[in-house]
Amino acid sequence: MKLFALLSLALGLWAAQASAANLVCYYDSASYIREGLGKLLTPDLEIALQFCSHLIYGYAGINPNTYQVQSLHEDLDVHKHQYSEVTALKRKYPHLKVLLSVGGDQDVDPEHPNKYLELLEGEKVKQTSFINSAYSLVRSYGFDGLDLSFQFPKNKPRKVHSDIGMVWKKFKKLFTGDFIVDEKSEQHKEEFTAFVRDVRNALRPDNMMLTLTVLPNVNSSWYFDVPALVGNLDFVTLAAFDFLTPERNPKEADYTAPLYELYDQSRLSHYNANYQIDYWLGQQCPANKINLGIAAYGRAWKLTTDSGLTGEPVVKETDGPAPAGMQSQQPGLLSWPEVCAKLPNPSNAYLKGADAPLRRVSDPTKRYGAYAFRPADGNGEHGMWVSYEDPDSAANKAAYVHSKNLGGLALFDLSYDDFRGLCTGDKFPILRAAKFRL
Ligand SMILES: *[C@@H]1O[C@H](CO)[C@@H](O)[C@H](O)[C@H]1NC(C)=O
């Protein structure tokens, strides 16, 4: 009897713990206005919600003149009622929290590339304008809070150089500091801490949430005073992917989101998820406030005849982004169903050229992730190398989250998962795989 009671207590605790983990789902409403199979409508979105603890609705931006927060797709978000339609889904999924996110690398404004920094540097009136408008958007459309996917300057991409030049370059870097992207990062760090405190104070009376998304390649050491910041955040999500991309690193291909460091060649020690997580843990951020962010898409490079035949990363002499996928319509980016369709299957086994299947190379060590490739042909054409997350590797990262008692896992974003079930028939297979291992 006693044993049974203990056992059920343990099971109960286990279940409570299992269900306590966050599964944070990013939703970019711009996926609603895509053409073709990549178009994600509200009924598709709804299927995911049974798995998500939080939905991060992206993206709002900053008006460069008034510093007010505003929708980047007014037609859709406001006039077609997508804001209210999505927050209304909370009635059906009462466990779900829906947050409005600002930035997310989607607020691209060539005429005001530094507006996020200007907001921090500026007079208080700019920040007040941001805070009041954010509050009223969140409030009037029924969001549970605000997420700051704050667009800080990104790390410079690592340079490609010959092995001989390598040592000298490393040495020189120490003195020239050519990795510095922001001379005033210390100041911005302080200003951001104060800014977050003010946003928090504005949201507190209504018990609204405030979260932070650290975008890919934003250096946490430069911009976040973690001990001073975390008390004002409900959680922080580290977008630990896109460490290399074909846009940033056109000449070399490598794992885009390795879990651990691969000790060889010219890799930088902070370009892996574990380093980023450990950095935040080391700065006294409670583990349960950290979510590990993973991408549901792969990054694809064009291979040349000089890239060789083995596919083994780091792959040299690549030629920038591979052609865009039919659905995602972005060069060098393939959604998971697009990657899946290129892996060997009965319907592509005999196809040639640009339709020939890629060779899949899985990762039995579970440390770096999978990749797939097709060497360039005799004419130097149709070469492709893609690093991607699949349901297995997502489950593996969920297991990592679990073993480190982190807050949870976050998926970027729902529209790149296989929401139609084209790959195996399962809808949202990456999301599901993550959920069942958390
Ligand atoms: C920030 O950049 C520096 C210099 O490149 C690097 O040493 C450090 O590890 C980076 N911090 C994080 C958290 O990635």
Assign a CATH topology to domain 21-295+390-437: TIM Barrel (3.20.20)
Closest ligand 1 atom to residue 276 Cα is 13
- Report pLDDT for 7: 55
Q: Report if pTM > 0.85.
A: yes
Instruction: Compute, in angstroms, the gap from residue 270 CA to the centroid of ligand 1.
Output: 6
Residue type, 35: E
Residue nearest to atom 9 of ligand 1 (CA): 270
* DSSP bridge pairs for 54: 24, 97
Ligand 1 neighbours (beta carbon < 6 A): 179, 219-221, 270, 279
Residue nearest to atom 6 of ligand 1 (CA): 270
Instruction: Compute, in angstroms, the gap from residue 179 CA to the centroid of ligand 1.
Output: 9
Closest ligand 1 atom to residue 222 Cα is 1
Instruction: Compute, in angstroms, the gap from residue 104 CA to the centroid of ligand 1.
Output: 21
Task: Ligand 1 pocket test: pick from 169, 170, 173, 221 the residue with the most ligand atoms within 8 Å of its Cβ.
Answer: 221
Instruction: Compute, in angstroms, the gap from residue 289 CA to the centroid of ligand 1.
Output: 21
- Report pLDDT for 266: 72
Residue nearest to atom 2 of ligand 1 (CA): 219
Residue nearest to atom 4 of ligand 1 (CA): 179
Which residues are within 8 A (CB) of 206 and not within 5 positions of it... i.e. 6 or more apart? 139
Q: What are phi and psi of 301, to 5 degrees?
A: -105, 155
Domain coordinates in residue numbering, the chain: 21-295+390-437
Instruction: Compute, in angstroms, the gap from residue 332 CA to the centroid of ligand 1.
Output: 26
Which residues are within 8 A (CB) of 43 and not within 5 positions of it... i.e. 6 or more apart? none
Extended strands (E) in 268-341: 290-295, 297-302, 315-316, 333-335
The DSSP letter of residue 324 is: P
Closest ligand 1 atom to residue 220 Cα is 13
Task: Ligand 1 pocket test: pick from 219, 224, 225, 285 the residue with the most ligand atoms within 8 Å of its Cβ.
Answer: 219
Largest CA distance in the chain: 75
Residue nearest to atom 5 of ligand 1 (CA): 179
Tell me the per-residue pLDDT of 350-378, one tens digit each, with 9 for 90 and over: 999 999 999 999 999 999 999 999 999 99
Residue nearest to atom 7 of ligand 1 (CA): 270
Structural contact between residues 129 and 192, judged by C-beta atoms closer than 8 angstroms: no
Closest ligand 1 atom to residue 269 Cα is 9
Instruction: Compute, in angstroms, the gap from residue 84 CA to the centroid of ligand 1.
Output: 40
Instruction: Compute, in angstroms, the gap from residue 112 CA to the centroid of ligand 1.
Output: 26
Tell me the per-residue pLDDT of 388-429, one tens digit each, with 9 for 90 and over: 999 999 999 999 999 999 999 999 999 999 999 999 999 999
Instruction: Compute, in angstroms, the gap from residue 256 CA to the centroid of ligand 1.
Output: 17
Instruction: Compute, in angstroms, the gap from residue 176 CA to the centroid of ligand 1.
Output: 16
- Complete DSSP assignment for 346-413: TTTTT--GGGSPPEEE--TTSSS-EEEEE---TTS-S-EEEEE--HHHHHHHHHHHHHTT-SEEEEE-
Q: Do the bridges between strand 315-316 and strand 252-253 make them parallel or antiparallel, or are there none, so unpaired?
A: antiparallel
CA separation for the pair 302, 318 (Å, rounded): 6
13 membership: H or E segment, kind and range: helix 2-20
Tell me the per-residue pLDDT of 230-243, one tens digit each, with 9 for 90 and over: 999 999 999 999 99
Instruction: Compute, in angstroms, the gap from residue 347 CA to the centroid of ligand 1.
Output: 45
Closest ligand 1 atom to residue 179 Cα is 5
Rounded mean pLDDT for each run of 10 residues along the chain, 438 residues in total: 53 50 97 93 96 98 97 93 96 97 97 96 94 97 98 87 52 55 95 98 98 98 98 98 96 97 83 98 98 98 97 96 92 98 96 96 96 96 98 98 98 98 97 96
